[in-house]
Copies of this chain bind each other. A is one copy, B any other.
Amino acid sequence: MKRENLKIGDLSDLTGTKVVTIRYYEKIGLLPSPGRSANNYRSYDAAALDRLRFIRRCRDLGFSLDQIRELLGMASDVARPCREVDAITATHLAQVERKIADLQALAAELRHISAKCRGGGTIKNCRILDAMSSD
């Protein structure tokens, strides 16, 4: 498949992004409005494909659309220090690590609670609900 005059469905297939999502990215200004072919279909080129791939990769890495907007802004300014990009990455990594810690504490608590269930009883003397009520 060539990399010019791509229809939105082609872009979708090539990047694993749903068509509606691509249009959504355009609407919020993350992807530039592409040219249109005679039948009013969006027509994308290789640059658009690259940009969308970048966006998807960053989404997979858990960056927010706003962070991606920032990264894209930086990427277009060749003289900018690399350190700024790393700062965004580092901030994001810290958030992810904090979230992991939170979830681990949560999992421990859930295991603790679940261990109280001896299975045979009824709600009337359910220790799980007790644990959720007070504790």
Q: Which residues of A contact B (CB under 8 A)?
A: 50, 53-54, 57-58, 61-62, 71, 74-75, 77-83, 85-86, 89-90, 92-93, 96-97, 99-100, 103-104, 106-107, 109-111, 113-114, 117-129, 132-133, 135
Cβ–Cβ contact B122 & A82, under 8 A: yes
Given contacts A53-B133, A78-B123, contact A93 B117 (CB under 8 A): no
CA distance A121 to B82 in the complex (A): 5
Given contacts A96-B106, A111-B93, contact A85 B133 (CB under 8 A): no
Cβ–Cβ contact A123 & B92, under 8 A: no
Given contacts A54-B132, A103-B96, A132-B54, contact A82 B114 (CB under 8 A): no
